[in-house]
Structures are given as C-alpha cells and as structure tokens.
Structure 1
Amino acid sequence: MPTRHVVSIIDDEVTVRRGTSSLLRSLGFLVKTYVSAEEFLNSGDIESCACVVSDVHMPGMSGIDLYEKLRARNEPLPFIFITALSEQTVRQRVGDGVHILQKPFQADRLAACIREAIART
C-alpha cells in the first residue's frame, strides 16, 4: 500500500540510514534522513513529518531524548525506535504507545509499524 507520507529516519550509522531509506522508498514512502536528533530538530522538517524512525543510542541527544523533547513541545509525532537495547529498557522510558524494533528488524514489520503509526494520527 504505497503512501506519500514523509518518514524521517534518524540514525548515526550511515549503513542503517541508507538501508532503511532505500527500503521505505521502495515501499512508496517519501523519506528524509538525519544523522542526529539535533539535525532533525534544526531542519525545519517537523511539520512535514508523518512518522519518525529513530535509533535510540546516538552521540549527543538520544532518540529517547528527542522523543521526550517533542512531547514536551506538544509535537505528537509518532515514533518507531530501532535499537540494539532490550525492548524493556526502552519501554521503561517511552511507555506503551511507541513501536520498538530490535536490530536487525524485519522489513515488513517496520513497514507495518509505520503504517499503523500514521493511521493512528
């Protein structure tokens, strides 16, 4: 089911950004990539973003810190976290309303999480 929603990928690992971006583009999503949470915050792209796919652990601001900062600013962007950490560790900080995928993740699972997250907004 192709869609024209912009998905923002935030990950400090170039291979993860490129691979995830290529995958989502092949599924019909518009994709923008960012090397850090700070780059995303300073991009001016928050308004056009339909969903964020973010690594949890990055130099500088973590994905969870970004999530909490946007919530504090009343930005209700749906988030999907991709992480090598345990789901329980991440869930303790972000609660139940967020998708968390373990690296490596299945392509169809990521696509399903994005579609569900966008549909809820």
Structure 2
Amino acid sequence: MHASRLISVIDDEAEVLRATSSLLRSCGFDVATFSSAEDFLHSSSNGRSACLITDVQMPGMSGIELFATLRAKADQVPVIFITAFAEAPVRQHIEAPVCVLQKPYQAEALLACIERATNVQPQA
C-alpha cells in the first residue's frame, strides 16, 4: 500500500466500516479498517495513513481522544470525524479546522473532505 493513498477508517460499527471501505476502495484508495482507536494506534497503519476517518463516540478511546493523542505526538495526519451527534458540540472539543460529517453522510461529502484534507483526488 502506498502511504499517499492509504486511508484508515476507525468505527465500532461493522456496517459503517464495510460501507466506507467499499466506497473508498471503489475510488482507488487503499483502506485499513479498525474497530477501535486503540487497534489503530497499535497497527502498522499508524504513521503511514494519508488520512483518518474516525467515529466520534466509540467504546474505549473516542475519536476526539484519538485526535488529541495523535496531536500530542506531533502527528499531523488529517482527521475526518463522522458522528451521529450534532456537529457543533463535536467541534467544541477540537481546536483545529477539521471536517465533521453527520451520519448518515453523503459519499460525495466524504470524498470532498478527503480531497481537501489530503490534496489527493479519488480515481474514477
């Protein structure tokens, strides 16, 4: 996998992981999926991903805590948050310009966030 096209998806819902990874693969991205933030942090994808897509609320470490952990380690990987909750409260916990999408999100919106975050366009 090429780091420039590797997108890591972190969500505790298997359906979301499956649908998101399928969408991203169909657009030419390499995808690694994880059911928890902890699994991602202990994986070889940590430090190699062009972008992370993470749920906000998960058992154990939340997506916001994952973001804070990465930033504390000076890891500036772009992070896209997906949430079933309102966007404004999520943004209150993140002191950075990030993309926050509410579930269910539109495929086009996710792909636009990835393009903005990574400057890598999906392949047709």
Q: What TM-score does the superposition give when structure 2 sets the normalisation length?
A: 0.91
Residue 16 of structure 1 corresponds to 16
Aligned mates of 1:17, 1:107 — CA distance in 2 = 13
Q: Deviations over 1:6-50 (max 9, x none)?
A: 000000000000000000100111100000000000002122100
User: What SS is found at the alignment partner of 1:46?
Assistant: coil
Aligned mates of 1:92, 1:63 — CA distance in 2 = 14
Aligned mates of 2:82, 2:41 — CA distance in 1 = 19
User: Could you list the runs of 5+ residues in structure 2 that have no partner in the other structure?
Assistant: none
Residue 107 of structure 1 corresponds to 107
Residue 92 of structure 1 corresponds to 92
Q: Per-residue deviation at 1:85?
A: 1.0
Residue 31 of structure 2 corresponds to 31
The answer to which of 96-105 and 56-65 deviates more is 96-105
Q: Per-residue deviation at 1:96?
A: 4.3
User: What SS is found at the alignment partner of 1:108?
Assistant: helix
User: What SS is found at the alignment partner of 1:91?
Assistant: helix
User: What SS is found at the alignment partner of 1:7?
Assistant: strand
Aligned mates of 1:115, 1:31 — CA distance in 2 = 15
Give the AA of the match of 2:63.
Answer: G
Aligned mates of 2:88, 2:96 — CA distance in 1 = 10
User: What SS is found at the alignment partner of 1:80?
Assistant: strand
Is the helix fraction higher in 1 or 2? 1
Residue 80 of structure 1 corresponds to 80
Aligned mates of 1:31, 1:44 — CA distance in 2 = 12
- How many pairs align? 117
User: Could you list the runs of 5+ residues in structure 1 that have no partner in the other structure?
Assistant: none
Aligned mates of 2:47, 2:69 — CA distance in 1 = 15
Give the AA of the match of 1:65.
Answer: E
Q: Per-residue deviation at 1:68?
A: 0.3
Identity rate, percent: 52
